[in-house]
Structure 1
Amino acid sequence: MLEQPAFGQRLRALRRERGLSQAALAAGGLSTGYLSRLESGTRPPTRRVLEHLTRRLGLPASAFARGSSQSLSQALAVAMSSARIGPVADELAVLLHAGEDRLDPALRWQSLWLLASVRDEEARYEDEHELLVELGELSEAIGIPELTVRARIRLSRCCLLLGNTARALTEAREAHRLAAGLSVDDRSAALHALIRAEAEAGRSDEARAHARELCELTAAEPGPLHGEALRATSRLQARHRDHAKAPR
């Protein structure tokens, strides 16, 4: 079994990954004060406590074994080289929140991006949203505009999936603003996000204006970028016609 403080770091990461409060995890077996000391590494776990924790977490005792400990960089490499990332995503999530203050920001950014993609594929949009908010904050701290724009674009899409159109629109507008001066790819992606959010918010005039901007931006880029712009414009026009025909 892992020794302290490694045990406490892993316990805290597992609890957070499962969305449990300290009170929820401690319920029926130990006090929240004792659990807090376990997570801080100041108290060693007993066999009875370990049984309670694994039962509440729904994990085998091997989750706290020495052999289960690996670095975030190792877990990220395994995940990225796996045919199916899902099975190793939980380990990546645990390591992501273990000793997080000491992690290299770039490594943490890559892990958040990959894990958010997994949660999107699993349709776990609330979990994806939490990861993307953290990703956006980290992107701003790193100070690379491209990373901030891409994180906000993804967050806008996730907000739409969760039905939060207002937040989606805010994130898309900020991505569009920050993308000025970046590559055509980033500016195009920001415009796509903004058009989707504006269409969902019922801001048809603004969406059509940005669709024209998108077509003009990509006109000198023969290939998929301009094709995607034309398709986005076509979908927007079809949506407008359908709305106009709808009974009032």
Structure 2
Amino acid sequence: MLEQPAFGRRLRAFRRERGLSQTQLATGGLSTGYLSRLESGTRPVPTRRVVEHLCRRLGVPPSAFETRPCQSLAQTLAVAASSAHPARAAGDLAALLDSGADRLDPALRWLALWLLAGVRHEESQYEDEHELLVELTALSETIGNPELIVRALTRLSRCSRMLGDTTRACAEAAAAHRLAGGLSAADRSAVLHALIRAETEAGRPAEARAHIGELGEITAEPEPPRPAPAVRRS
């Protein structure tokens, strides 16, 4: 059986995949407060009877809450990334991240956090997304790759803005902007879009206008020449 907080994360993922509220899942023997603490990991793993009750409500076998030692983070990540519905693998992915699996492979962990944060965004679970993006940004800085740092900070800024913290969103986008100078036009444009939105919502119109002008310069940059198509000789 999974330990906490991995058990709670998998439980929450199963519940969300089925479109159930905590109240709906708790119906029939559990309190909503208990279920909430169980999902957050502040309550220990429940008894077998409670697990069986949850499995009946969710339509999954008890084995769904067991550890899967034969499946590495790389395998789980491959399944999630290649799936048309990556949210279905979110529970396994979150559980493996919590367990510290493949912790010594920063690149795999980065990809897992990026994908899981995207799932949480699609679910409008912005607080969970923000927590994942904070870790993603820290990991990006440890890896030391400017592209990864800029992309993580850009998404973190957007999430902070969704949570209503425009001051933090501006700071995160500004940090990404300082690092994005030598990156691709696509990366620089993404940073500027995030920065302009944050500055506009934070009531900084002059700064936003200046960055709109910078964005216009980037979009006006000529595309690199494309190689001429090969001519087939008869």
The 1:54/1:130 distance shift into structure 2, 3 A limit, reads farther
**Residue in 2 aligned with 1:124?**
125
CA distance in 1 between partners of 2:127 and 2:61 (Å): 26
CA distance in 2 between partners of 1:207 and 1:158 (Å): 19
The CA deviation string for residues 159-213 of structure 1, in whole angstroms up to 9 with x for no partner, is: 1111111111110110101112222222221111111111111111110011111
**Residue in 2 aligned with 1:219?**
220
CA distance in 2 between partners of 1:105 and 1:193 (Å): 26
**Residue in 1 aligned with 2:44?**
25
Q: Is residue 2:106 matched to residue 1:115? A: no
> What is the identity, as a one-letter code, of the residue corresponding to 1:206?
E
The 1:56/1:107 distance shift into structure 2, 3 A limit, reads same
> What is the identity, as a one-letter code, of the residue corresponding to 2:205?
S
User: Quick one: higher RCO (CA 8 Å, sep 6+), 1 or 2?
Assistant: 2
- TM-score normalised by L of structure 1: 0.69
The 1:12/1:201 distance shift into structure 2, 3 A limit, reads closer
CA distance in 2 between partners of 1:154 and 1:51 (Å): 41
Percent sequence identity over matched residues? Answer: 57
CA distance in 2 between partners of 1:16 and 1:83 (Å): 21
Q: Structure 2: any 5+ residue segments left out of the alignment? A: 13-38, 225-234
CA distance in 2 between partners of 1:54 and 1:127 (Å): 27
Q: Is residue 2:161 matched to residue 1:160? A: yes
Q: 2:9·2:94 contact (CA, 8 Å) conserved in 1?
A: no
The CA deviation string for residues 30-87 of structure 1, in whole angstroms up to 9 with x for no partner, is: xxxxxxxxxxxxxxxxxxx444566689875313446685211111111111111111
Q: Which has the higher helix share?
A: 1
The 1:65/1:131 distance shift into structure 2, 3 A limit, reads closer
CA distance in 2 between partners of 1:55 and 1:175 (Å): 47
**Residue in 2 aligned with 1:192?**
193
Q: 1:51·1:61 contact (CA, 8 Å) conserved in 2?
A: no
Q: 2:7·2:65 contact (CA, 8 Å) conserved in 1?
A: no
Q: Structure 1: any 5+ residue segments left out of the alignment? A: 30-48, 224-248
> What is the identity, as a one-letter code, of the residue corresponding to 2:207?
E
Where 1:139 maps in the other structure, the secondary structure is helix
Shift, 1:130, TM fit: 0.6
Where 1:25 maps in the other structure, the secondary structure is coil
CA-atom RMSD in angstroms:
2.6
CA distance in 2 between partners of 1:71 and 1:100 (Å): 7
The CA deviation string for residues 193-244 of structure 1, in whole angstroms up to 9 with x for no partner, is: 1111111111111100111111112212359xxxxxxxxxxxxxxxxxxxxx
> What is the identity, as a one-letter code, of the residue corresponding to 2:40?
L
The 1:202/1:81 distance shift into structure 2, 3 A limit, reads same
- TM-score normalised by L of structure 2: 0.73
**Residue in 2 aligned with 1:15?**
8
Where 2:84 maps in the other structure, the secondary structure is coil
**Residue in 2 aligned with 1:106?**
107
